Amino acid sequence: MKIGSLTLDNITILAPLAGITSLPFRVLAKEAGCALVCTEMISANGLVRGSKKTKQMLESLPEEKPLSVQIFGSDPAVMAEAAQIVESSEADLIDINFGCAVKKVVKTGAGVALMQRLDNAEAIIKAVRKAVDIPLTIKIRTGWDSSGKQALKLSQLAEECGVDAIAVHPRTASQGFRGKADWSIITAIKKVIAIPVIGNGDIVTAKDAVEMQRITGCDAIMIGRAAIGNPWIFSHVTALIKGNDVSPVDIAHRFEVMIRYCKMSIQCFGEKNACRILRGRLGWFVKGLRFSSKFRESIKRISSENETIELIKAYMELLQQEKEI
């Protein structure tokens, strides 16, 4: 699977998730078999203004590469300048957000608002394409109605302007994340463009990913919410596509990964900040396990690395004792 000059090891891609796909999360996804990880959406204005917080979002580690960095904005000149900043960072690929439906973003003419302003969308793509040499992708929605006309038009336009692949989350602007993703839009786009089409939306299990590829003919699969607390879904998808069996994740390995996630988060965000973030995040990894609500309760006030790791270990021991009884 190729996106422009970039060759991917397999066809699984991590979706950008604001507030979630930070560096530690991306490293876990990569280690668990994801071919391409993506940052959350990063403000082009913030990058161009030189905001320290925004620039920190470009921090990367060699083990997560190749890395896709997603930018959002509505001004072609600002987007082009931001893309150059991204290109001079660790990024291997730039993705432009044409799908964010959050009011705060849409109000500024960015995200999915651009699917209503195809003239400006085109100007942005052309400006960014001219400004950088690394592969360029866009991520779109169905558009503002369910017909998919805007998605088809934007896809064709993007291909003409030199975009290397298109990720399609087939929900309308007003749907947000409600209702069902309409995979037939992915099929329709695949029929009208020659560049790779990345299918996204409502993949809950590895089987769903195989099914999406079979039904839509998409070239790659992008997974968001189902990878939260379950990065192993990426290797499971690859195994199923190859016709191999998928075995459940070993419990000891699950806890090992949780501890690594804690340590990386502390390294990235500092102990105090990381612990605050981890209070709501560690629960992701234990969904469906026995006594998980008790564990979630126990980590509600964690404030240090030692305390957090002790609580994870204690929970693991509790589960192991249960197994032995």
Ligand X SMILES: Cc1cc2nc3c(=O)[nH]c(=O)nc-3n(C[C@H](O)[C@H](O)[C@H](O)COP(=O)(O)O)c2cc1C
Q: What span, in angstroms and rounded, lies between the C-alpha atoms of 249 and 257?
A: 11
Which window, 210-218, 223-231, 242-250, 310-318, contacts ligand X (CB under 6 A)? 223-231
Q: Which residues pair with 2 in a beta bridge?
A: 7
- Based on the shown chain and the rule CB under 6 A, indicate whether residue 201 belongs to the binding site for ligand X: yes
Q: Does the protein bind ligand X through residue 139 (CB under 6 A)?
A: yes
Closest separation between CB of residue 222 and ligand X, Å? Answer: 7
In the complex, what is the shortest distance from the CB of residue 16 to ligand X, in angstroms, rounded to a whole number?
Answer: 4
Tokens representing residue 96 in the block: 């432009």
Among 10-18, 27-35, 270-278, 283-291, which window interacts with ligand X (CB under 6 A)? 10-18
Stretch that binds ligand X, among 112-120, 156-164, 224-232, 253-261 (CB under 6 A): 224-232
CB nearer ligand X, residue 27 or residue 316: 27
Half-sphere exposure of 46 (CA within 13 A, CB side): 15
Tell me how crowded residue 248 is: count the other CB atoms within 10 A of its CB: 8
Alpha-carbon gap, residue 158 to 166, rounded angstroms: 8
Task: Decide if residue 158 touches ligand X (CB under 6 A).
Answer: no
Active site residue 100: yes
Q: How far is CA 239 from CA 66, 209, 234, 245, in A?
A: 21, 11, 9, 7
Residue reference for tokens 């900043």: 85
Transcribe 10-41 into DSSP letters.
SSEEEPP-TTT-SHHHHHHHHHTT-SBEEPPP
- The minimum distance between CB 158 and ligand X, in angstroms, equals 15
Contact status: 225 vs ligand X (CB under 6 A): yes
CA 319/CA 315 separation, integer angstroms: 6
Helices vs. strands in the chain: H and E counts, helices first: 14, 11
CB of 303 to ligand X, least distance (A): 25
Q: Which is nearer to ligand X, 4 or 224 (CB)?
A: 224
Q: Are 269 and 69 in contact (CB under 8 A)?
A: no
34, 38, 100, 161: which is the annotated catalytic residue?
A: 100
Print the binding letters for residues 271-300 with ligand X: x by CB under 6 A, - otherwise.
------------------------------
Residue 46 sits in the site that holds ligand X (CB under 6 A): no
* Cα–Cα distance, 162 to 314 (Å, whole number): 53
Tokens representing residue 55 in the block: 């620039």
Counting Cα atoms < 13 Å in the Cβ hemisphere of 33 gives 18
Which range of residues in 44-52, 187-195, 218-226, 296-304 is near ligand X by CB under 6 A? 218-226
- The residue (of 16 and 196) whose beta carbon lies closer to ligand X is 16
Total chain residues near ligand X (CB under 6 A):
22
* Residue 137: strand, helix, or coil: strand
| Residue 182 binds ligand X, judged by CB under 6 A | no
Q: Name beta bridge partners: 97.
A: 139
97 part of the interface to ligand X, by CB under 6 A: yes
Tell me which stretch binds ligand X (CB under 6 A): 5-13, 14-22, 229-237, 242-250: 14-22
**Residue positions annotated with a catalytic role:** 100
**Site residues for ligand X per CB under 6 A:** 15-18, 20, 40-41, 70, 97, 99-100, 139, 169, 177, 200-203, 223-226
